[in-house]
Amino acid sequence: MTDSTHFDAIVIGGGPAGNDCRHLPLRARLNTLIVTDGVAGGQMILTHEIANYPGVESISGYQLSNIMKKQAKSFGCVIKGNTSVESLNLEGDIKEVTLSDGKTYTADSVILTPGGRSRTLGVEGEAKFKGRGISYCATCDGDFLPERKLLWLAAETQPRRSCFTYKICHQGYHCPSV
């Protein structure tokens, strides 16, 4: 990793959105640092099969994240993994980003792509069957479960999702969740 502690742009979060900043160094000649806790790839690496990514028929989340990471590095991005951003000072022209390893980097711009988290129920077995029978994304995984009997938990305010899932599975139980 470069010794520079000042970058034109620092991207916080190495999932698909953060990786999409990969063109900055090459196309905009901006030296760019991508900081991400855990392995770069974000939620994508939890996905055993992605069949809806433009231009790619079917690929594992892990493979796709490796391709993105490799491309980002080939474009000149610096990627710092397994490090979380602890604090930000976005006042003034020069921004400060302090990491969990105690180091502080400065940048002219900070791009926030920290992603999100699926809302879990916290019930027994939920973590164990995540991605193996339990899914948090009807639009992502519904298509893999045609003709299956599904239980979907969705707040009353989410009829669209329920309809979408119903179109695919034809049999299901809707349980209004909290």
Ligand X SMILES: Cc1cc2nc3c(=O)[nH]c(=O)nc-3n(C[C@H](O)[C@H](O)[C@H](O)COP(=O)(O)OP(=O)(O)OC[C@H]3O[C@@H](n4cnc5c(N)ncnc54)[C@H](O)[C@@H]3O)c2cc1C
Residues that bind ligand X (CB under 6 A): 12-18, 35-38, 42-44, 46-47, 50, 52, 84-85, 113-116, 118, 131, 136-137, 140
Q: Are 108 and 93 in contact (CB under 8 A)?
A: yes
Residue (29 or 128) nearer to ligand X, CB = 128
Look at the chain and count its residues. 178
CB of 110 to ligand X, least distance (A): 11
Contact 21, 75 (CB under 8 A): no
C-alpha–C-alpha distance, residues 90 and 49, integer Å? 38
Q: How far is the CB of 31 from ligand X (least distance, A)?
A: 19
Helix (H, G, I), strand (E, B) or coil at 142: helix
Got the DSSP string for 94-106? SEEEEETTS-EEE
Q: What are phi and psi of 23, to 5 degrees?
A: -80, -15
SS3 assignment, position 12: strand
Q: Among residues 17 and 26, whose Cβ is nearest to ligand X?
A: 17
Nearer to ligand X, 25 or 61 (CB): 61
Strand partners, 151: 173
CB of 81 to ligand X, least distance (A): 9
Shortest Å distance, C-beta 125 to ligand X? 16
Residue closer to ligand X (CB basis): 66 or 84: 84
The distance of closest approach from Cβ of residue 76 to ligand X in the complex, given in angstroms and rounded to an integer, is 20
Q: State which residue, 29 or 40, has the beta carbon closest to ligand X.
A: 40
Q: What tokens were used for 62? A: 């892990």
**What is the 8-class DSSP label of residue 67?**
H
